[in-house]
Amino acid sequence: MADILNLALPYFSLIFIGFACGKLRKLPEQGLAWMNFFLLYVSLPALLFGITSKTPFEELNNPPFLIATTCGTALAFFLALGAGRLIGGISFRDATLAGLAGGYGNIGYMGPGLALAVLGTKASAPTALIFCCDSIFLFSVVPLLIALTDHSDHHWLHALGLLVKQIALNPLIMSACAGALAAAFHFHPPIAIDNTLSFLQNAAAPMALFVLGVTVALRPFGRVPWEVPAVVAVKLLIHPLIVFARCALQLILLEQGRPDEARIEFDRLAEGGFRLVQRDWNWIPSMFVLADVCADLGDSENAEILYRLLCPYASRNAMLGNVHTYGSVAFALGRLASVLGRQDDVEAHFETALAANRHIRAAVWLGHTQHEFARALVLRNEAGARARAGELIASARQTANALGLVRLRHKLESLEVEGRRATAAGLIEGVAALEAQSPPIVGARVEAGSIEGVVASAMARAQDLGAQATFQGMITIMFSDIEDSSSLYENLGDLRAHELIRVHNEIIRHQVTAHRGVEVKAFGDSFMVAFPSARRAALCAIATQRSFAAYCESHPDQPLRIRMGLHVGEAINESADYFGKAVILAARIAALAQGGQILVSSTFHDLTASAGDLRFASIGDKRLKGLAGIYNIYEVSW
């Protein structure tokens, strides 16, 4: 905050000084005419010439950038013009001047000084281009539109000639062209002339701001016209957002599952080392979003460029005007470092981002930072890293639930899927891989994220169920997962597969809640659920399969085949060891199932068949890996 005040306060102080002078000393207003003449015909042209002539011509010769910035200004201009006509009801001539006010940024007053102070010398070329493009466009279009409204008796050819003359002799346009030619031919004026130009261009901003303050003092509004708030909104909000939207478009395309289109847009902006992205107030948030897109696309080549461009701003926060914050720039650097495989830098940047986002209370981006940091730690597949990742995921999930952050919740669910793929085993296969003769010891220390860790976590949660009155006596365990879920990623791609698994998880959780089950453990697309009633568990399984059948019917291109297994065991507080065996038996049965099947043990069948409302079909005696004896397995019809 102190840095921002130190940069901005001198500019606003000059406006206030001008305002105070205008109020305290009643000098003739005619003096403003000479001050404005000096500003428009002497000082600002010197500033524009100085910026363009000292910028390498190859950086000025950037057609995509020129087109983008001109189109952004043109759109803002016509929006402000339309606002003046529709909201203020003013004449077309006055609306044209409103368009000039809305489309013309602070490029002649505060813009160059603040841009160079905040972004450094690398901002000089984009600043010069914006200055040139805006000046040439606006000071060409505005006289043209005003001339069209002139109802004098002059012949239209005479009016056109005057217009061309005004445009050609406009001091800002002439100085911009002269500066570009000087840059192209490497012309350097003599020292005396260069020093004179420096004096003049240094006077531009102080003079302009002082005149602005005096003008406000001498010409106060009797009332604020209706069109003024709209023009101000276009100038301060919409115009910056127009420029920013090109970068945000790629993020939107990625979130909609359209990575190919996002790649095309990203590659367009990446041309020439991201020269198309204007180095204005929105440069840092624009690059922040591009870094996010680059990381999602896994583009290591452009990640290196973005990392180099953003690294000097690691301690800054990415602010989109005064409207929205993306939190610490270190978050984007951490994501880029992850793509580049720089693990030490990944952790350092994410630690910085965590501290910064906590400090500024950016809760949303703190949650996203925790998710990305956890993801990087999970991929390391080390015990200590997984333990820290678990803490970060738990904290991020609390934030997502408290603030209703749907996107973050989806990312956390996807992270579970990634962890499942990294360990090459899901919850069902993981539990079933344990030997029944050596059930996990509840409370034993195991590595988080390993198969033993999944079982221990489920067992620990299961023992908590014993304290609930509804889980006295017998308890029913249900396992479910998607058949051959790994093929989803091969056939649909990661983004669409993640979205499909999110839908799957929502359906499962909805049915579990509706049938009063308790989610013991979820890992990716695998669920372990406990029910106090075997019949209620069966009805939940049937309702779930029917829900997925209905979903597949309406989405034939997104097949979801669910396999489910159920078994009944003793209550937890009576026999933890027996409960451990019951979990493993239920997992073995689920692993035996095919997509669309609900398989149950003979114990479950015997408890529920007598009511007559459930239909079963025996699939015969089966041997279950690691378990002694023969088990009669039944399929529930749904």
CATH 3.30.70.1230, domain 446-636, yes or no: yes
Between residues 516 and 442, which one has the greater pLDDT?
516
Give me the CATH code for the 237-421 domain, please. 1.25.40.10
Q: What is the rounded distance in angstroms from the CA atom of residue 595 to the CA atom of residue 562?
A: 5
Top mean-pLDDT range of 19-33, 133-147, 360-374, 446-460? 360-374
292-301 pLDDT per residue, tens:
888 888 888 8
Determine the average pLDDT of the residues in 380-385: 65
Q: How far apart are the first and last CA of the chain?
A: 63
For residue 378, what pLDDT band results from cuts at 50, 70 and 90? confident
410-424 pLDDT per residue, tens:
788 777 666 555 543
Angle of helix 2-24 versus helix 191-218 axis, rounded to 10: 70
Contact status, residue 485 vs residue 526, Cβ threshold 8 Å: no
Q: pTM for the full model? A: 0.43
What is the model's pLDDT at position 467?
A: 45
What is the model's pLDDT at position 248?
A: 57
For residue 376, what pLDDT band results from cuts at 50, 70 and 90? confident
616-638 pLDDT per residue, tens:
999 998 888 767 788 899 999 98
Distances in Å between the Cα of 557 and the Cα atoms of 483, 488, 552 are 16, 11, 8
Phi-psi region of 617 (alpha: psi -120 to 50; beta: other; left: phi over 0): beta
- Can you spell out the DSSP letters for 338-381? HHHT-HHHHHHHHHHHHHHHHHTT-HHHHHHHHHHHHHHHHHHT
What is the model's pLDDT at position 637?
A: 92
Give the bridge partners for 325, in sequence order. 319
Tokens of 588: 């073995």
200-255 pLDDT per residue, tens:
878 877 887 888 888 888 777 666 665 667 677 776 666 666 655 655 565 566 56
